[in-house]
A and B are shown apart, each in its own frame.
Chain A
Amino acid sequence: MTSDGDTGDLSGLIDRLAPLHARKRGGLLPLLHAVQEEIGFVPDAAVPLIAEALNISRAEVHGVVTFYHDFRRTPAGRHVVKLCRAESCQARGGAAIEKAMQRRLGVAMGATRGDGAVSLEPVYCLGLCAIGPNALVDGRPVARIDAGAIERIAAGVGA
């Protein structure tokens, strides 16, 4: 994850990444994933550069960035907790866990905490549906989340 300051070298980044994906048919999504992988989000300033590199319109790039839930237009927190809100986790007490997680981490679902330490995001199913409630904590799967697990997650993200 990174701060806004790193976007200064944005054109260098796009110059480096675009050739890897421009030749692919339908390379826009892979390129956006690559940009987000590198700097943590897809800055608005990158949109015209990507459009230029792939020879498509800025509107097309903007449309795709804003359509998909995964692409961020602002940096996430240093840690990202993606908590499942789907039916199978709800059947195993997910709603109560969601409330407790928001309270313990000090951040509302779908937001980043003021100090930038952690983002709490909803996810709709991680495919671990018999062992919920589940979360991805910085990409690591965590199952059967209970009060103890919330404490461990909070400690891990420094909250």
Chain B
Amino acid sequence: MSRVYISKDMASVALGADALADAFAAAGCEVVRTGSRGLFSIEPLVEVETGEGRIGYGPVGPGDVAAVLDGTHANRLGDVTALPFFVRQQRFSFERVGVIDPLDCDAYAAHDGWRGLDAARAVAPQAVVDAVKASGLRGRGGAGFPTGIKWQTVLDAASDEKFIVCNADEGDSGTFADRMLMEGDPYCLIEGMAIAAHAVGAGHGYIYIRSEYPFAIETMHAAIERSARRMAPFTLEVRVGAGAYVCGEETALLDSIEGKRGQVRAKPPLPAIEGLFGKPTVINNVLSLAAVPFILSEGAEAYAAVGFGRSRGTMPVQLAGNVKNGGLFEVGFGITLGELVNDIGGGTASGRPVRAVQVGGPLGAYFPPSMFHLPFDYEAFAGAGGLIGHAGITVFDDSVDMAHMARFAMEFCAAESCGKCTPCRIGSTRGVEIMDRILAARNTALSSVRPEPVEGLFSTLDEKDGASTRSARTEGGYLAKALYSRSPARIDTGLTAQTDLLRDLCDTMKYGSLCALGGFTPYPVLSALDHFPEDFGASAPIQDAAE
């Protein structure tokens, strides 16, 4: 009887891994379901255990079982880890993902699991915090704040109760590393949270997972139950989000766990001082916490030895969108954007030229290929008017309309704004209107024409208010009137005036918003405008993007 390994990651299942697993089971094989290796062009993937190690075949379907088992299938890949996509990686956090059964406690322990927690519990909390500081680990959720400093603040805060909160509300399009880790190696996250709990003196933790990740929710529930004794006295529970993107913002997330509307809090007080239920709280992204076991077991120096400038360690980069070799690529900071998109990613899936990449999700900047020399580094991206965010890279080919993408950024912000601050709540709606005028002026060259509402906008906005008001809001309802009530005759709807207005609005949103939703929406909008002015009706590029 052969043993075969097939992923049960949500992406693999979406590509047909369940049917493949059933077919191998029906053929009498022992099927071990793992996480995903992280290269989706070879999925559905099956790895057959042989005397020479695991031999991969992919993509394969349920009809290929016989050819795979006798070793004659044309899509034989050999040792999957020897493929160029994997050889170039440095897997610190994702070492076990795709290798072991995610819920197998023995396999986790056999693959160096719990060594970080044991090392941490053998020393004083301050020593753990010092190790995380020395590693140079910075918040992987996007802000890049030094994790050790955050932990020190919580450790130093006197309180009868402290919390560890894991932000697993991975809402950015183009990112899926949190999901893959939770589905593929949940104990790694649990171990990281237990280490954090020891470091700051917390007793209970929450993992806030978005509802769009049903597989991750199920896996984390099961993993918490099975590892309860190993992490004791620390206890952990899963909280499920409810479709609000803004809850990825840490203070909105805390309010959501408290059972409230997910509205952003003003800072200060910092969550490290007054966080969940008013108590000192460590709130970190999945990837930040999952990096911690390696730091404790292998040493802070081993982690800090990799990286670039002030960005130390590795980053699980996610190659997404219209890219040939899409997937998860964990590598030390400093690799260039061009290497990631062209060498690793292999260019576009459609075979057309790459025109733009968006780095860091819906709030990240769009970059043209002329900026592919940028090294993957927090400071380098900030200096170029962008951000790394959660390290998702979404690739677009030359069929993309960048003015449309800028409009979408505003539309998304309008749909997802929590409503607490004015620049975000009102500014995003005004931004959609301005983009509609720019698009209308560009498309018709008749700048005084009132733009038609674009299909999809209202269906997005009225989601918030439930179905009962839906019919009233669509098709010429009051929202349409409110959005377009200002008479175009009273304002200059020409391209130049509207572009100036757009810049002015973005300035207000960037500096006046309470959190990154309103504050960073200008990044995709302005980067599209700066790097792709021809899509906004300008006759030629205003400036060369190269430095």
Contact = CB atoms under 8 A, between A and B. Distances in A.
Interface of A: 25-30, 32-33, 60, 63-74, 84-92, 98, 108-112, 121-132, 134, 136, 139, 141-144
B414 to A, nearest CB: 13
B173 A125 contact: yes
B320 A73 contact: no
Contacts of B463: 69, 110, 121-122
Contacts of B395: 91
Contacts of A124: 171, 173, 245, 362, 412, 415-416
Contact of B468 (A25, A74, A110, A126): A74
Interface of B is mostly: mixed
A127 B176 contact: yes
Nearest to A26: B259
Contacts of B15: 131, 143-144
Given A87-B362, A91-B395, A130-B319, A69 B464 contact: yes
B279 to A, nearest CB: 11
Contact of A143 (B11, B213, B214): B11
A73 B14 CA distance: 29
B243 A30 contact: no
Nearest to A29: B259
Nearest to A71: B242
B278 to A, nearest CB: 11
Interface of A is mostly: loop
Interface in B447-479: 456, 458-460, 462-468, 470, 474
B243 A68 contact: yes
Interface stretch (B193-201, B224-232, B322-330): B322-330
Contacts of A33: 211, 240, 242
Contacts of B261: 63-64, 67-68
B173 A129 contact: yes
Given A71-B242, A91-B395, A129 B258 contact: no
A37 to B, nearest CB: 10
Interface string B260-294: 11110000000000000100000000000000000
Contacts of B465: 66
Given A74-B466, A127-B212, A25 B456 contact: no
* Nearest 5 interchain pairs by C-beta: A130-B326, A110-B459, A86-B173, A129-B320, A69-B243
A128 B14 contact: yes
Contacts of A85: 456, 460
B172 A125 contact: yes
Given A109-B456, A112-B467, A125-B171, A130 B242 contact: no
Nearest to A92: B322
